[in-house]
Amino acid sequence: MRGHILRMVCAMLGLALVAAGCEKSRVTEQPTAPATAAVESASSDSARDLLIKSEVETAVSMLREIDAKRRQGAMSLDQAKTLGADLLRELRYGADGYFWADTTEGVNVVLYGQKEVEGRNRLEDKDLKGTCYVKDFLAKGKAGGGYVEYWFPKKGETAPQPKRSYVLLFEPFGWVVGTGYYR
């Protein structure tokens, strides 16, 4: 079953990446001039916004399928959450896209396998501007999904950089799932 779900997710992610690649090539084939640089940057951000929203929706659809199997009696809630976390932890898109999940109480479930973070309550964590970004994740996720701006270090680095993320609540597990890009 796990292999079937992973193949399904890979197929959906492949389609999203093909669509994003088509959008990127359409935008970059136009001539670049200084007067249009700001417009192209905004267009690029819009395309990236669309991509991360689509990727989170795809990840949540994977969790929905796992929960459907749980409701059919194939596994317990704890088993479904464990499977969901394991798959989400390994799920990737593009060159360096990854996902994370926090419970609605702020406890991290998945953050690219960082064992010192997973299982820890991040509700009061602040970025370098003083923003409690996990509180923002939870608020946007519970409100039906949305974008959050904050500062966070890239994987393997310590210096925070500006980041924009999309988050969405997966209610059956009580998780807010997200991904983002660095600006």
Whether 139 shows a pLDDT value over 70: the answer reads yes
Check which CATH number belongs to the domain holding 81 and give it: 3.30.450.20
Torsion sign, CA atoms 127, 130, 131, 132: positive
Q: Which domain holds residue 112?
A: 2-182
Task: Kindly report the backbone phi and psi dihedral angles of residue 125, in degrees, each rounded to the nearest multiple of 5, phi listed first.
Answer: -60, 135
Total number of domains in the chain: 1
* Interval 58-115: pLDDT, tens: 999 999 999 999 999 999 999 999 999 999 999 999 999 999 999 999 999 999 878 8
- Give the three-class secondary structure for 70: helix
Question: At a CB cut-off of 8 Å and minimum separation 6, what does 107 contact?
Answer: 119, 120, 121, 122
- Position 64, amino acid: R
* Interval 18-51: pLDDT, tens: 344 433 333 333 444 444 444 445 568 999 999 9
Gap between the Cα atoms of 114 and 91, Å rounded: 14
pLDDT at 43: 66
